Amino acid sequence: MAVGEDVLPALHPIAGLRLGTASAGVKKPGRRDLVVIELAVDATSAGLFTRNAFCAAPVQVARNHLAQAAPRYWVINTGNANAGMGADGLIRAESVCAALAAQTGVATAQVLPFSTGVIGEPLPAERIVAALPAAVAALDADGWALAAEGILTTDTRPKGASRRVRLPGGATLTVTGIAKGAGMIRPDMATMLAFVATDARVGAPLLKKMLVAAAEKSFNRITIDGDTSTNDALMLAATGAVAAELDGATLAALGDAVTEVCTDLAQAVVRDGEGATKFLTIAVAGGSSSAECLAVGYAVAESPLVKTALFACDPNWGRILAAIGRARVDALDVERISVWLDEVLIAERGARAASYTEAAGQDVMARAEITIRIELGRGTCAETLWTTDLSYDYVRINAEYRT
């Protein structure tokens, strides 16, 4: 179950990057569950990782390797998170990196591992290592679509996005990315897994700034269930295949393209949220700070009562007011607050709007895509985030996750 069209857009290849997908039988025999991404020798990389204190072994290894050397390979498995496994998990993650490094002739520190799946089970590293030759043999610049399928877990469809930026001299820069994620989503940095690349030449420090800015407006503005994963990782690579020098304007345009790709991917994660039947935009304006706008937005977006009312198409607007009121915003004056469902004003001056009718609210709640707009009336700051409803299927998917 997902919201919106199930169409993977055209994913433009990135010169200097190849992707290979194979089946390692990590959890289910025969399914694509292993992806290798090869980066050009001169490529730069930047990464953001989960803030969860129980971060998975691959997150720890990837952080350490990224600090030691410029990555040449990213290796991703699904079906097993390799999280909550202590020293043994680190050994298994390192063994996968060492095997791929030996096969491709690079240093072990130039391989970054990423895993997603069930927490608390030993990573079948021997199966992954055995499948690495097939993934390497499949390396292809046009391998984005297969890779998007190869990183999925409870997702119902692959997620990808591309943008192109025309430079004044006639050259074109490309940005392409894929992501996976459907549940355990409130990133606090990225999403469960996302891999984005460009053929521009960008130094690592500037690439990191570009990635942080993109994440703040995309992956850090989504929530499915308020849970931050142990395995979240967002990677951005610049292969340098297009050697054009970038001035301030072209760097800004490239940064915008990276943000747009990340936003498309983040919204695709929400549209494919576990059991989702609705795609919700929560737009909060009139705040005195970004932080209080986000506090109000997340209070509404993560309220089980609001989310279940949305699933039921029930315009129970009192639940929205209650969520706003418990957002812990200092000296919040409810007399200044207005709330809309799409174009319908439902509350103002601390009460139901005089113009509101149940029929109008019902009409909006029956839609698959809805915007809840909140005006706080206390400043000029605004923030937007995206979420889903909460359905029976969300409970079923997570109750049956390990069976």
| pLDDT range class, residue 251, cuts 50, 70, 90 | very high
Q: Is 191 part of the annotated catalytic residue set?
A: yes
Q: How many structural domains are present in the chain?
A: 2
What CA–CA distance (Å, rounded) separates 181 from 70? 26
User: 229 and 107 in one domain?
Assistant: yes
Given a cut of 70, whether residue 403 has pLDDT beyond it is: no
H, E, C per residue of the chain: CCCCCCCCCCCCCCCCEEEEEECCCCCCCCCCCEEEEEECCCCEEEEEECCCCCCCHHHHHHHHHHHHCCCCEEEEEEEECCCCCHHHHHHHHHHHHHHHHHHHCCCHHHEEEEEEEECCCCCCHHHHHHHHHHHHHCCECCCHHHHHHHCCCCCCCCEEEEEEEECCCCCEEEEEEEEECCCCECCCCCCCEEEEEECCCCCHHHHHHHHHHHHHCCHHHECCCCCECCCCEEEEEECCCCCCCCCHHHHHHHHHHHHHHHHHHHHHHHHCCCCCCCEEEEEEEEECCHHHHHHHHHHHHCCHHHHHHHHCCCCCHHHHHHHHHCCCCCCCCHHHCEEEECCEEEEECCEECCCCCHHHHHHHHCCCEEEEEEECCCCCEEEEEEEECCCHHHHHHHHCCCC
Per-residue pLDDT at 392 exceeds 70: yes
Q: How confident is the model at residue 338 (pLDDT cuts 50, 70, 90)?
A: very high
Q: Is the overall model pTM greater than 0.75, yes or no?
A: yes
- 70 falls within a domain: yes
391, 400, 242: which is closest to 308 by C-alpha? 391
CATH number of the structural domain spanning residue 245 = 3.60.70.12
Question: Is 3 among the domain residues?
Answer: no
CATH number at residue 301: 3.10.20.340
pLDDT at 190 over 70: no
Of 244, 271, 298, the position where a domain reaches its end is: 271
pLDDT value at 400 more than 90:
no
Mean pLDDT on 275-295: 96
Whether 103 and 243 share a structural domain: yes
In this structure, are 201 and 244 located in the same domain? yes
Q: What is the mean pLDDT of residues 141-155?
A: 95
pLDDT, tens only, 110-135: 999 999 998 999 999 999 999 999 99
- Asked if residue 232 and residue 99 are part of one domain, the reply reads yes
- The last residue of one of the domains, among 253, 271, 289, is 271
**Tens-place pLDDT, residues 214-239:** 999 999 999 988 888 889 999 999 99
Task: Give residue-wise pLDDT tens across range 292-317.
Answer: 999 999 999 999 999 999 999 999 99
Instruction: Choose, from 44, 108, 116, 191, the residue flagged as catalytic.
Output: 191
Q: What is the domain extent for residue 154? A: 17-271
Whether 266 and 293 map to the same domain: the answer is no
Last residue of a domain, one of 271, 305, 339: 271
Whether residue 1 is contained in a domain is answered as no
Among 21-25, 228-232, 247-251, the minimum mean pLDDT is found in 228-232
Give percent of the chain with pLDDT exceeding 90: 84
Do 182 and 324 belong to one domain?
A: no
Residue 5 lies in a domain: no
**pLDDT tens-digit readout, 87-96:** 999 999 999 9
